[in-house]
Amino acid sequence: MSSNTAPSPTSTWSNGRAQLRRVWALSWPYFASDEKWQGRGLLGAIVALNLGLVYMAVLFNDWNKLFYDSLQDKNQEVFWTQLGRFSYLAFAFIVIAVYKFYLTQLLEMRWRSWMTRTTLQRWLAGQAFYRLELQRFATPQADANATPDNPDQRIAEDINQFTSLTLNLSMGLLNSLVTLLSFVGILWGLSGGFSFTFGGQKYVIAGFMVWMALLYSAVGSWLTHLIGRRQIPLNFAQQRVEADFRHHMIRVREYSESIALDRGEAVERSQLEGRFGAVLKNYLQLIRAQKNLVWFTSFFGQAAVIFPFIVAAPRFFSGAIQLGEVMQISSAFGQVQGALSWLVDSYPNLATWRATTDRLTHFEASLQSLEAATPALSHTASDTLHTEDLTVSLPGGLALLAHTALHAQAGDRVLLQGPSGAGKSTLFRALAGIWPFASGQVARPVDAMFIPQRPYFPNGPLRDALAYPELPTRYTDAQLVEALQWALLPDLADQLDQWNTWGQKLSGGEQQRLALARVFLKQPQWVFADEATSALDTETENLLYQRLVDVLAARQGGLVSIAHREGVARFHTKRWVVQPAAEGAKARFTVQETAL
């Protein structure tokens, strides 16, 4: 995309149509949504106000002639009349400009709000946020654009830029088209004919100033695109490297304790400086590209100021026209040339808009692909846990388990064991229904809780972290306190309303106990635990496992645990052992069931 070869007209036209289709696909859903009448009404009002500003420009152009003629003729009566006329014209212009700004910002806010809510809903539905991350890590050697990066930036920043730039650029284009239609006739009438002799014959070009404005702007627009097109890929890359830099800083904050214990400050500084170096390197290329464009557009704009005076000067000094008409010609030429030079004036914003649209389109296509995908793994509700023909693979396609049949009924407590890397946690995810690289059938009870190796706790009051993902209002304070006490966290009982980053404040053992407190609070029928007590001492682990077993026995449910310590085996009734498969098998491992 950084080639200096000019694109052919056919390819440019094709790219332009493709861009418009992408913009339409992103824009239309809002104006066809349940908020369509508000959106369309605001858009209609903004269009009307833009047309009003163009009409005001026409009135100001007519005022220019009358006012400057009064100065040349030293006509005080007309002078003061036109000053009075200017006051109410200016007042009307200010009112229209203010409400155009206000309504545009209001539409931007509502449009962004709708797009953000809708995109968030789709990103969080069906574990799309999780599956997108898996896709990114599944093909690390693939093209950088194969899977959308930094969805947080696309939702938080790109949507904001898209709505703002789309409105401003489209209204600017509309304004330019209407201005052109309004002033081209005025300029044609004012410019007169340009006569010259060639080959002994006299020729006259009618509307000479119009043709010069058209030629001037066409050449300027073509050169602007030629000089500035490199900004499009650079803007795209700038958004990506900025997001990468910010994301790594967030990781340093989240893993601050681990980094501090490992004395990893030097490595993290090197990583951050490397990412910031990429930000600066790309930004330097971007500002150099912008500098080249500013050179041209500055020259182009300054030349446009004096050009109409140069052309009109001979007629003025010959007495054919007065000063007011010169100023009117200058104003009309400026309006026509400005309208025709919309691309020149808007090119930096167009480059940013194009990059933003591409990023959102890419993100939208990924979400649509996930929504259209048919799950290969079927999940149904049952009173027991049962798998049939279950095949579990890694994102790269390597099969860990193939055609696996497992069964556990109410009252069973299953200990899942095997060597590290055998796919125990991956099987755990498949049983939960979130692993997309699995096929077959899984039937399990609906009233089940899954405890991952690294439990998540939202920042906020402790009661929110304890009740997650349910609302804390569903439980009384007495129930919340009792759950904490059962999980051996009595010191937290008086901190239910304390705000904190619990995932960082609590130790690993405390986090595991808080995750078990959720189980004691909600008392599900089945529990699936992945190394849920690995950070606890043996005595605490035994006590909490006994309490967990008691809760499940009262509910006549079951338990599936992943654990390496043999000490927890006594709380289970049978064992599933993941072991290497025979040579030539379809998968690396098999699961063998034994009694305890």
Residues 426 and 557 grouped into a single domain: yes
Residues 468 and 345 grouped into a single domain: no
The encoded tokens of residue 133 equal 């991350």
Residues 135 and 109 grouped into a single domain: yes
Helix (H) or strand (E) holding 281: helix 265-317
pLDDT tens, 351-388?
888 888 988 998 998 888 888 888 888 989 999 999 99
Residues 463 and 386 grouped into a single domain: yes
The encoded tokens of residue 64 equal 């220019």
* Lowest mean pLDDT across 148-152, 255-259, 447-451, 511-515: 255-259
From CA 591, how far away is CA 576, in angstroms rounded? 6
How many domains, the chain?
2
Residues 333 and 305 grouped into a single domain: yes
Residues 332 and 258 grouped into a single domain: yes
Checking if the pLDDT of 13 tops 50, the result is no
Residues 110 and 181 grouped into a single domain: yes
The 3-class secondary structure across 531-584, one letter per residue, is CCCCCCCHHHHHHHHHHHHHHHHHCCCEEEEECCCHHHHHHCCEEEEEEECCCC
Q: Is residue 273 part of a domain?
A: yes
Q: Is residue 491 part of a domain?
A: yes
Residues 312 and 409 grouped into a single domain: no
What's the confidence (pLDDT) of residue 3? Answer: 38
Domain boundary among the residues 354, 372, 390 is at: 372
Checking if the pLDDT of 540 tops 90, the result is yes
Residue type, 186: I
Residues 409 and 296 grouped into a single domain: no
CATH of the domain at 395: 3.40.50.300
Domain boundary among the residues 353, 372, 391 is at: 372
Q: Is residue 500 part of a domain?
A: yes
From CA 504, how far away is CA 491, in angstroms rounded? 17
Domain boundary among the residues 372, 405, 437 is at: 372
Neighbours of 591 (CB within 10 A): 21
Q: Is residue 5 part of a domain?
A: no
What's the confidence (pLDDT) of residue 485? Answer: 96
Q: Is residue 4 part of a domain?
A: no
User: Phi, psi (5° rounding) for residue 497?
Assistant: -100, 10
Neighbours of 308 (CB within 10 A): 25
Residue 260: how many CA atoms within 13 Å on its side-chain side? 6
Q: Distances in Å between the alpha carbon of 328 and those of 71, 83, 339, 381, 421? A: 14, 17, 16, 79, 80
Residues 152 and 215 grouped into a single domain: yes
From CA 414, how far away is CA 426, in angstroms rounded? 16
CATH of the domain at 344: 1.20.1560.10
Residues 384 and 365 grouped into a single domain: no
From CA 214, how far away is CA 224, in angstroms rounded? 15
Residues 404 and 463 grouped into a single domain: yes
Q: Is residue 3 part of a domain?
A: no
Q: Is residue 1 part of a domain?
A: no
What's the confidence (pLDDT) of residue 330? Answer: 75
pLDDT tens, 397-439?
889 999 999 999 999 999 999 988 888 999 999 999 899 899 9
The encoded tokens of residue 484 equal 């904490």
Residue 392: how many CA atoms within 13 Å on its side-chain side? 27
This prediction's pTM: 0.75
Boundaries of domain holding 92: 11-372
Torsion angle in degrees (nearest 10) through CA of 261, 265, 270, 271: 50
The encoded tokens of residue 471 equal 């609302």
Q: Is residue 417 part of a domain?
A: yes
